[in-house]
Amino acid sequence: MTGSPTARAAAQFSAAPLAILGAEPRFEENLHIGRPNVGDRDHFLRLVNEMFDRRWLTNVGPLSLELEKRVADYVGVEHCVAMCNGTIALEIAVRAAGLSGEVIVPAYTFVATAHALQWQQITPVFCDMDPRTHQIDPAKVEELITPRTTGIIGVHVWGHPCNIEALTEIAERRGLKLMFDAAHAFGCSHKGRMIGGFGLAEVFSFHATKFFNTFEGGAVTTNDAEFAKRLRLMRNFGFSGLDEVAHAGTNGKMSEVCAAMGLCGLESLDSVIEVNRRNYHLFREGLGDLPGVSVFEYDEAESNNFQYIVIEIDPERCPLNRDELVGVYHAERVLARKYFWPGVHRMEPYKSFFPQAGLLLGETERVAARVMLLPTGTQLDPGGVATLCDIARQAIQHAGEVRTALQRMLPDLQKSSEASATPPTDADAERS
C-alpha cells in the first residue's frame, strides 16, 4: 500500500496480538474512513492548465457544464445542477421546492440533512427506521404527518435505496413534496434504474470523503425543467442576465477546479468501485464467522458503489460490544467510526428542541448503538483488509483481557483519538 497506511508484518505481533494488550499498532499511520480517492493526476493538471489559460475559474464555466452533462447522462436524468457542496445543494433544493413548516426526515442520517431544514426555519420531524435496511420506515412516516407537513426527505443510507415506491405513494396521496438525500448513493441503482431521478429531486455529495469526489462539491438532479431553472437561478444570487436578478438566491456555484477533479474522477469511477467491491467481499469472508458480527449486505443484483463497510455488532452474541471494538481499532491506529451515533435527535439543537424524541425512535437508537464503519477504498489492499479482520478476530478471542485493558486505558485512548482529529483532515467529516 505505497503512499498509504501500511500494515506491519504478522510476525511482529504474534506474541502480543493487539496494541491494546501491549503490541505495536498494526498500522504505521492513521487509517481513516473515507480517505480521498485520487484519479489521473496528469489528466487533472491538464484540465487545470486549460482552466488557467482561459482565466475562467468559476461562474459556471465549461468544466462545470461538462461535469453536469456527464453526471446527468450517468444517472439518466434531464438536468444536473452542480453546487459548491452537498449541504448547500440540499438547502437550495429545499427552498426551490417551497418546503416550509415541517418536513419528515430520518433520525439516522448525517446531521446536515436536518440542518438544511433547520437553517431555513423548517422543523425536521425525525422518523424511525426499518432495522433490516437502516432506511426510513414508510409506515412510521405516515404516522408523523400533520397539517403542517409539506414534504418528506428520504436518505439512501449506505447507498441502499429507500423504499421509494412506498414513500412516493404516501407523498402523492397526501399532497407532499418528496426529495431524496442521495449523498451516499452516487453510482447505485434501484430496480435497474440509477439513483438520481426519483422524487422531485435527488441531492448528491461529492465531498472528498466520498468514493467519487470533486474536492468539495455536490449536485441536484431532477427531471423537472422548471425546478432545475429555479435551482440555477438560486445558486447564482438569482441572476437571470448580466444586470437582472429574477429570484432570491445565494452563492452555491461549483468552481472550475472542483469540476476538473470530478471529470477526472468519472474516468476512474469503475476501477474505484471494483476495489470497493473486492474489499467488501474480503470483509464478508474475513468477518463472516465471528459471533455477533455481521457485515451489512449490498444487493448485487443492483449497481452499487460499495463505499461503506458497515459492521453491526449484536451485544447479546458478540463477546465485545461495538464501543469496545472501536477502542481496539483505535489502539491499532485504525479510526473506526460509530455511524450515525448517537442519532441526529440527540445532537444540538434538536435534543433541546425535542428532548423526548427518542421515545419514538427505538429502532434508530438500537441500531445506532451497534453500528461501526471500517476503512475501505483505494487506500487498502487485500493484506490490509486481512489485517483489519484479524484485529476483530483476535479481540474477540481475547475478549476478557481486552475489556480489562480498555477499562484501564480508555481515558488515554479518548485523548489520542481527539488529538488525531486535530487539525481535521478530509477523512474526518462526512460531507460539508
The per-residue pLDDT for 415 is 57
One domain, residues 137 and 182: yes
Total domain count, the chain: 2
User: Which grid coordinates belong to 216?
Assistant: 468539495
**Any domain includes 89:** yes
**Any domain includes 120:** yes
Closest C-alpha to 167, from 125, 176, 158, 204: 176
Of 267, 289, 323, the last residue of a domain is 267
One domain, residues 251 and 132: yes
DSSP 255: P
Domain at 55, CATH number? 3.40.640.10
For 238-270, what is each residue's pLDDT tens digit?
899 988 999 999 999 999 999 999 999 999 999
**Any domain includes 393:** yes
* Cα distances (angstroms) measured from residue 270 to each of 23, 275, 304, 374: 38, 9, 11, 21
One domain, residues 308 and 191: no
**Any domain includes 359:** no
For 71-106, what is each residue's pLDDT tens digit?
999 999 999 999 999 999 999 999 999 999 999 999
Helices 41-54 and 256-267, packing angle to 10 deg: 150
Rounded Cα distance between 416 and 234, Å, is 43
Report whether 250 contacts 235 (CB < 8 A). yes
One domain, residues 202 and 112: yes
Query: Residue ranges of the chain with pLDDT lower than 70?
Result: 1-16, 410-432
One domain, residues 88 and 217: yes
One domain, residues 263 and 273: no
**Any domain includes 31:** no
Of 267, 294, 318, the last residue of a domain is 267
Closest C-alpha to 337, from 306, 368, 314: 368
Report whether 312 contacts 292 (CB < 8 A). no
Report pTM. Answer: 0.92
**Any domain includes 320:** yes
**Any domain includes 16:** no
Alpha-carbon dihedral angle through residues 51, 57, 61, 62, given to the nearest 10 degrees: 10
The per-residue pLDDT for 34 is 85
One domain, residues 102 and 193: yes
The per-residue pLDDT for 7 is 58
User: Which grid coordinates belong to 424?
Assistant: 481535521
Alpha-carbon dihedral angle through residues 247, 253, 256, 261, given to the nearest 10 degrees: -140
Q: Which residues pair with 373 in a beta bridge?
A: 310, 337
Range of the domain at 81: 41-267
One domain, residues 252 and 388: no
Rounded Cα distance between 87 and 389, Å, is 34
Q: Strands across the sheet with 218-222, in order?
A: 79-83, 218-222, 201-205, 177-181, 149-155, 102-106, 123-127
The per-residue pLDDT for 17 is 87
**Any domain includes 8:** no
Report whether 336 contacts 283 (CB < 8 A). no
One domain, residues 134 and 168: yes
